Each structure stands twice: as structure tokens, then as C-alpha cells.
Amino acid sequence: MRIALALFTSIILLFGYAAPASAEDCETIVYAGVYSDYAFQDLGVLVDNRPSAQAGATRTCGKLSYDVWTSTVLSSESPYGNRGGGDELNFTVTWSDTIESPAGTLEVEVSGAYWLLADFGRSRDDIVVASLKVGRPVNLGNVTVTPYVQVSEWIGLDGDYRTTLVRTGLSANLSLSEQWSVDVDVSHVEESFEDTSTWRSDLSLTRTLKNGWSVTGSALMAERMPTVYGITAARSF
């Protein structure tokens, strides 16, 4: 537990100085949506088969971004934070930048997150996540294709759970017009704790509206679980 918390705190302190002093360099995105189910795609596990509402806010200043995200099962059986696996509250800090390499321009992301899971009243089922992602974007007209690799370490505060996930994949963004865009992501995840692997894919269609608004419909797929459908509205300012 002390190691997990120290790791998360160190990431915040290390990259906290990267934020620019001027608020003009910052952007905030707030978003909210509804999903048919709740799943851990990287594990190919359907956590809760009830619909869930998901919402959050991301504040980006230069290379540094902060995100607060929550999911809650659409049920009145019990209070928020105690309705099962579909209730979750996450805090994430991400540092991102581009670097030049012999292979070309690389996109690099380093993040740390704290996940409150299932029962918010206890900490033993919480998880700390540290992640490194490296991608190589290639522009092909109105399509940007990015092969990438992502390594994540999940550390459970109860001391009994620790796993490494290695995800390799290919993402593509297609700009159909000024208003419409499509995002596709196909990846393979190797997970050490259960010694399993999972193919997962994401498909989304986004409509950009006026005054910073957008609406996105998505389909989230993975082996061993049904497709999860969602619709999300977002606003940036």
C-alpha cells in the first residue's frame, strides 16, 4: 500500500512543474454519457451488466492534464459508491509530449491513477495504476494511423493483487468532414496476473457541434464479453 501511494504521489510531484503559468494555455473538457454495461475491456471482463452513467472533467495545461471520472450504476437499490462493480471513481494525472527519434516523431504519455472501486467506504479494493504509452502517428491525408504500445502496472491496496498489462495496438482517426470524425482502435492485451490475453476494439463516431459541444456514439468490444454501447456529450472551453 505504501509503495502504491508513493508511486502515485511521485508522478504528481515529478510532472506537476510542467504546467504553464498562463491560464490561456489550458483547456477544460466536461463530459457525460450513458452506457449499456460496464466492463474492463483490457481483461475481457463484464463487471456489471446493468446500464451505467459515466461523467468526468479533464483539465489540460500544456503537457500536463488532470482528470476526474466516475461511473455509477443506474439503479436505486443502494447509494452511489455501493451498487456493485459499475460504481467507480478515478483520479488521473497524465504527462504527454512528442519526441524525435530515428523512427520519426513519437507520442509519449506517462500517467498515474487512483481507482476507487465498488465500495467507496473501504480502501482495500482500490487500485493504483501507473502507465507508459508510446505511439508513432502517421498522417495519410485525412486519416491519422498510430501504432502504439502501452505498459500498465495495476497495484491493489489489499496487497494480494498486482498485474502487468502490455497492450499493443493500432488506432486510426478519420476526418469525414468538419463536423464528423471516426475513431477506430484495435489492440491485443497480455495480462500477467491470470496469464491471459485479450483482443479488444473500440469504434466511435463523433459529431462536432457549435460552442465547443460534441456528441459521440461508441461501441466497445473485447473477447469473452458482449459489446458495450454508449453515447456521450462533451463540451470544451
| pTM of the entire predicted model | 0.88
Residues in the chain: 237
CATH number of 2-17+27-236: 2.40.160.40
**Radius of gyration from C-alpha coordinates of the chain:** 18
Q: What is the pLDDT of residues 101-124, one digit of tens each?
A: 998 999 999 999 999 987 787 888
Write down the domain spans for the chain.
2-17+27-236
Which residues does the chain have with pLDDT short of 70? 1-24
> What's the CA gap between 164 and 134, in Å, rounded?
16
Residue 171's Cα: distance from chain center in Å? 14
pLDDT at site 18: 45
